[in-house]
Amino acid sequence: MLTTLCIEPGQLTLAQIQAIHADVVQLSLPETSRELIRASQQVVQNAADGDAPVYGVNTGFGKLANQRISKAELATLQLNLIRSHSVGVGEPLAPEIMRVMMALKAASLARGYSGVREVVIDTLLAVHNAGLVPYVPSQGSVGASGDLAPLAHMTLALIGEGDMLRDGKRMAAAQALRQAGITPLQLGPKEGLALINGTQTSTALALHALLSFEPVLESALVIGALTIDAARGSDGPFDPRIHQLRGQPGQIDVAQYYRTLLRGSDIRNSHRSGDDRVQDPYCLRCQPQVVGACLDQLRHSARVLVREANAVTDNPLVFAEDGVMLSGGNFHAEPVALAADGMALAVAEVGAIAERRIAMLIDSSVSRLPPFLTADAGLNSGFMIAHVTAASLASENKSLAHPASVDSLPTSANQEDHVSMATFAARRLQAMISNTANILGVELLAAAQGIEFLRPLNSSPALEQAHALLRKQVPAITQDRYLAPDIEHAALLVRNGALTRILRSLPGLPPLWLAE
């Protein structure tokens, strides 16, 4: 049975968002927020009943803001807005993204600055709790004025038009609502605009990427440590005194992760003296500096995204205490775009240094292991071309990491003359995360193969767990064989949290996200 999460407007946490993303909670609204919702809606109703022009209530939208709309046509105005803005293309947004998107929209409206009726928010929550997923094409937003097209498709489903997914099956929204016993929403003044104006799509996409990358990043730490042992690297560069002198929090924490993962390794103890390699290559030695910087960037992005998840980002905003509506630009998703671009750099760098570790392992002059990690090089090619696959994925990520936020294409007849491209900035992260997970899958295979050449010595208890986990699916490579299935198995361990559980079982480690 699912537990119920009461959405406290403005107070959503990353852990709560993760629960919504994982579909383990039903959503409710605190009674304390309803008075604010009613108060702001009354301001909108007063504007609708009055004669003064108020944007979004009795005027057109965007470049058409100077066009007055009669009182008799106010309901049609909102309905036309949703229909005309439902112009998205491409594959639909995944259910986990849509759950977060609907929850963030409900939480934003529930703060009482958008002027909608309670039934608007209650309908959003009812659709979420019924397991219905509005069918929302993933392409068509430039991240200002809000995520108009995707949010319009979401709203279209709420009013009984468009489509929904129920148990993975696509059907007419009216049918899905009827089967769930939910009355289609009828839009009042400003409600269509409040629903489609905002950054909830780009924010949900970026949060989806953050949560998707979490097990991949934790796996990268475990695999990076395994590679250190396979190459008989030193744990000296992870001495806490080095990292305290620099003072970068992510670097300090990553060094601690590596010290803990490597603790108790017989391989490490076997070469503490008499090792003729004075310093390890950067891909081993500088992991705290590189991955730590990535971790700091991801933590910063997480903080930005949680703030945005709690924000009110539609326009105009309603201030019931003063009885006024103010037009602004909170719908501009620049914070999300920059956060997503920063995440892209971090995802790419985690994959890039992993690719360098693979290159190091197959180079016998550096790793001091057999060439290409095969005992009979020449007859066997070993990991020669598996590394090429990793290199191709790392190179793809370099192109995908180009910042989306530096692009802007004016829209709405130059009324909306600077846009954020936040939705694409966040959406492209999934391809990058997949590439990095596959690179790490290749590295896991290579590092485990390197360990085989050092037997009977064992790595640390934690890293032997990781090695054994892989060997349950993939035996050691004694001669060339069909490697693509092995890479697939290894990449699945990276993505599915199996290696994460090993890391998290170790005592005394700092949390990954939002740690200082």
Is the domain spanning 206-313+346-406+420-504 CATH 3.40.50.2300? The answer is: no
Please tell me the chain's helix, strand, coil percentages from 3-state DSSP, rounded to the nearest 5: 60, 5, 35
Nearest to 61 by CA among 45, 40, 84: 84
Q: Is the pLDDT of residue 516 over 60?
A: no
- Over residues 33-55, the pLDDT tens digits come to 999 999 999 999 999 999 888 88
- Over residues 18-27, the pLDDT tens digits come to 999 999 999 9
Nearest to 193 by CA among 145, 132, 159, 139: 145
Average pLDDT over residues 372-400: 96
- Over residues 174-206, the pLDDT tens digits come to 999 999 999 999 999 999 999 999 999 999 999
What pLDDT does residue 513 have? 74
> Is the Cβ–Cβ distance between 319 and 220 less than 8 Å?
no
Of residues 96 and 418, more confidence is placed in 96
- Over residues 242-283, the pLDDT tens digits come to 999 999 999 999 999 999 999 999 999 998 876 667 799 999
Record the tokens describing residue 161, joined without a space: 């038009």
- Over residues 452-486, the pLDDT tens digits come to 999 999 999 999 999 999 999 999 999 999 999 99
Per-residue H/E/C for 243-298: HHHHCCHHHHHHHHHHHHHHCCCHHHHHCCCCCCCCCCCHHHHCHHHHHHHHHHHH
Task: Please report which confidence band the pLDDT of residue 94 belongs to, taking 50, 70 and 90 as the band edges.
Answer: very high
Catalytic residues: 55
Residue with tokens 């803005």: 85
Q: Which residues pair with 342 in a beta bridge?
A: none
* Cα–Cα dist 51/71, whole Å: 9
What pLDDT does residue 275 have? 67
Q: Is the pLDDT of residue 414 over 90?
A: no
* Cα–Cα dist 257/352, whole Å: 20
Domains 3-198 and 206-313+346-406+420-504 equal at CATH topology level: no
What pLDDT does residue 515 have? 39
> How do the domains of the chain map onto residue ranges?
3-198, 206-313+346-406+420-504
Record the tokens describing residue 373, joined without a space: 């990690």
Q: Is the pLDDT of residue 323 over 80?
A: yes
What pLDDT does residue 79 have? 94
For 139, the enclosing helix (H) or strand (E) is strand 137-139
What pLDDT does residue 276 have? 62
What pLDDT does residue 419 have? 87
Average pLDDT over residues 328-344: 96
Q: What are phi and psi of 164, to 5 degrees?
A: -135, 160
**pTM score, whole prediction:** 0.96
* Cα–Cα dist 44/42, whole Å: 5
Average pLDDT over residues 326-330: 93
Q: How far is CA 377 from CA 320, 386, 479, 507, in A?
A: 76, 15, 10, 41
* Cα–Cα dist 311/220, whole Å: 33
* Cα–Cα dist 209/350, whole Å: 14
Q: Which fold has domain 3-198?
A: Fumarase C; Chain B, domain 1 (1.10.275)
